[in-house]
Amino acid sequence: MIEPGIGRLLVGSLHGAISDVLPQRLEFYEEWFRPAELRDGHIGRAPLGAVLSFLRREGEAYELVMRQAGTVTATWWAADLSPIARGLMVRLPVWLRGRLAIREARRLILHTFRDAQVTGQWQAGGGRLSIGHSLFCDVRDRGTYPLCGFYAAAVETLFAVLRVPVTVTLTSCRAVDGASCSLTLDRQTEGGA
């Protein structure tokens, strides 16, 4: 059974990203992500934690898997928005689209992991998201590199779909140096907005 708080969207996109980036290792990871259990929605925090722990040992592949999983998650999330709502949203002024995109980013993050404790704000020049309890950064010892690339890729993709051009920068990571994972969203200027 799915443990409370872990979303199927996260698990499905992570499984797909492992399949694309590390196809030779997929059988190994399917010890925890068994396809039949994925279809039925059975995943626990311990197996997911094991997958993330082993992925961190894969070197550069970790970041590639996390970014691809984040991109796929945001793409699937945006595809589930009603066409009418998405159509109306992209016609709004960019400052209002940014506020709505922050709200959708918070919803997406909470949908992937309900205990994430997400806060966000949007102003004229950009925004900020803070994830107080990141599933990816739940490690025993401090690391040397950020582990929350999933969130950065998901937010950047979601904002692009909603036509709010931003550059997302990881400014702190709970696994490395902070109490939370923080993303800074710098708005790129677009013609006439």
Q: Which residues pair with 182 in a beta bridge?
A: 130, 172
Tens digits of residue pLDDT in 27-79: 999 888 766 666 665 677 888 888 998 999 999 999 999 999 999 999 999 98
Provide, for the chain, the percentages of residues in helix, strand and coil under a 3-state DSSP scheme, each rounded to the nearest 5.
55, 15, 35
Token couple for 53 = 């722990």
Give Cα 63 distance to the centre of its chain: 12
Give residue limits of the domains in the chain: 8-187
Tens digits of residue pLDDT in 1-20: 344 557 778 888 998 999 99
Q: How far is CA 80 from CA 75, 77, 101, 142, in A?
A: 9, 5, 14, 36
Tens digits of residue pLDDT in 77-127: 998 888 888 888 888 898 899 999 999 999 999 988 888 889 999 987 899
Q: Are strands 118-123 and 166-172 parallel, antiparallel or unpaired?
A: unpaired
Which runs of E-coded beta strand occur in 43-178? 118-123, 126-131, 166-172
User: Sign (positive/negative) of CA torsion 97, 180, 112, 142?
Assistant: positive
Stated pTM of the model? 0.88
Domain 8-187 CATH class label: alpha beta
3-state secondary structure at position 43 = coil
